[in-house]
């Protein structure tokens, strides 16, 4: 039961390094070009597996060289791929421009990802047997909805990254337990430009919302109320491409196999209490995030840090069983993982292992 099912995209990333964003009609020289595995779904699956979670990946790739390579990545990372289907459409690609400051812009060509019209029995079984279902918006909305409905019926905790931003069908968010947008996605979904207010709007109805603000941290809210600002862990960013995916994958991995198991073995640990003490309250969150709303930060949700709230003995805030203390601890881990990823180039190549994150936190 302690598995994560990731229903999402698998792409090959075509990455060009360049000094700056060219003006319309302008040609500039780049300084490097790489090809590697990517896709928001696959990235999140790899991040979760590196942090020690048991992961099933559900999606579709083309019957081509890129598709074979992506299956090889999953095998290397110990991720089960029984739910990864073949398509005659070419494997999806992401065309990524990374400027020297570390910021990026991405154009995704969905390819085979768009061909998954409905869940297979294998995919549905993986979802209903999981503890968490992680989704993004790089798959057909009908499939996302089908996955969310199946998860909700089975009592599976659902996590949605609404990227790329799009209008969601009425009622879809009612099936989501945690939504993790970046600043721009949160504004589009909520109609609020202030990230604190956006987090509050998106968390209404007994839902968690974490709005990532790049180098400025993240706002965490639950059930219509901002709990506080999670400040960023300062690092020198080299490439923010996979920061948001690393954050989400690490967050869910920690929730499914981290603090809860440790506390069961050793009682309430000092780590949770320490994380709770490092939390900036909702008032401070409003002042900090609001003041920086126009700042030039990564849109990928890079490096965030501790959140907090009520006492370490808080009761579950939802029937599916994630407490405020567990969310505090998970965001703390996700912060460190994301902050490591932005110091390295690439997507999956930048993601840290559990040992690396543990070394920083101890």
344 annotated ligand binder: yes
State yes or no: 244 annotated in a binding site.
Answer: yes
DSSP 3-state percent helix, strand, coil across the chain (nearest 5): 40, 20, 40
Q: Confirm or deny that 240 is annotated as ligand binding.
A: no
Q: Is 212 annotated as a binding residue?
A: yes
Catalytic residue, candidates 177, 194, 245, 329: 245
Q: 3-class DSSP state for residue 151?
A: helix
Dihedral Cα 84, 80, 6, 8, nearest 10 deg: -30
Which long-range contacts (C-beta less than 8 Å, at least 24 apart) are formed by 68-77? 69/12, 69/37, 70/10, 70/12, 70/37, 70/39, 70/42, 73/37, 73/42, 73/46, 73/348, 74/42, 74/45, 77/45, 77/46, 77/49, 77/50, 77/348
Q: What angle do CA 340, 91, 30 make, to 5 degrees?
A: 55
191 in a known ligand binding site: no
Dihedral of the alpha carbons of 105, 339, 37, 298, in degrees to the nearest 10: -10
Say whether 329 is catalytic.
no
Q: Is 341 annotated as a binding residue?
A: yes
Region of 269 (left: φ > 0; alpha: ψ -120 to 50; beta: rest) is beta
| Residue 81 in marked binding region | no
Of residues 341, 171, 316, 149, the one with CA closest to residue 244: 341
Q: Residue 76, annotated ligand binder?
A: no
* 83 labeled part of a ligand binding site: no
Annotated ligand binding at 239? The verdict is: yes
Instruction: Determine if residue 56 is labeled as part of a ligand binding site.
Output: no
The binding site for substrate comprises 11-13, 138, 245
Provide the annotated active-site residues. 245
The binding site comprises 11-13, 138, 182, 212-217, 239, 241, 244-245, 341, 344, 346, 350
The binding site for ATP comprises 182, 212-217, 244-245
The binding site for K(+) comprises 239, 241, 341, 344, 346, 350
């Amino acid at each position: 039961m302690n598995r994560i099912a990731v229903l999402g995209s698998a792409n090959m990333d075509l990455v060009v390094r360049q000094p700056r964003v060219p003006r319309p009609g302008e040609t500039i020289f780049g300084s490097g070009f790489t090809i590697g595995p990517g896709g928001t779904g696959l990235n999140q699956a790899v991040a979760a597996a590196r942090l020690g979670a048991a992961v099933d990946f559900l999606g579709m790739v083309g019957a081509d060289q890129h598709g074979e390579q992506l299956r090889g990545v999953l095998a290397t990372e110990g991720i089960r791929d029984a739910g990864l289907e073949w398509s005659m459409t070419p494997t999806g690609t992401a065309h990524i421009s990374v400027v020297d400051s570390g910021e990026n812009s991405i154009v995704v060509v969905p390819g085979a990802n768009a061909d998954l019209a409905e869940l297979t029995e294998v995919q549905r079984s993986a979802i209903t047997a999981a503890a968490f279902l992680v989704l993004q918006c790089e798959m057909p909305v009908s499939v996302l909805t089908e996955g969310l409905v199946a998860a909700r019926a089975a009592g599976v905790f659902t996590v949605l990254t609404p990227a790329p931003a799009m209008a969601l069908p009425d009622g879809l968010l009612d099936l989501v337990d945690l939504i993790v947008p970046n600043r721009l996605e949160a504004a589009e979904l909520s109609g609020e430009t202030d990230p604190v207010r956006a987090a509050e709007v998106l968390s209404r109805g007994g839902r968690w919302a974490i709005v990532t603000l790049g180098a400025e941290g993240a706002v965490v809210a639950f059930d219509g109320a901002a709990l506080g600002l999670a400040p960023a862990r300062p690092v020198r960013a080299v490439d923010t491409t996979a920061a948001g995916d690393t954050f989400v994958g690490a967050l869910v991995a920690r929730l499914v196999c981290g603090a809860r198991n440790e506390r069961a073995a050793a009682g309430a640990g000092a780590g949770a209490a320490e994380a709770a003490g490092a939390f900036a309250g909702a008032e401070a969150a409003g002042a900090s995030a609001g003041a920086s709303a126009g700042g030039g930060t990564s849109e990928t949700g890079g490096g965030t840090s501790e959140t907090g709230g009520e006492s370490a003995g808080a009761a579950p805030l939802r029937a599916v069983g994630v407490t405020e203390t567990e969310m505090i601890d998970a965001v703390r881990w996700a912060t460190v993982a994301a902050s490591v990823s932005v110091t390295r180039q690439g997507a999956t190549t930048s993601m840290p292992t559990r040992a690396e994150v543990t070394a920083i936190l101890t």
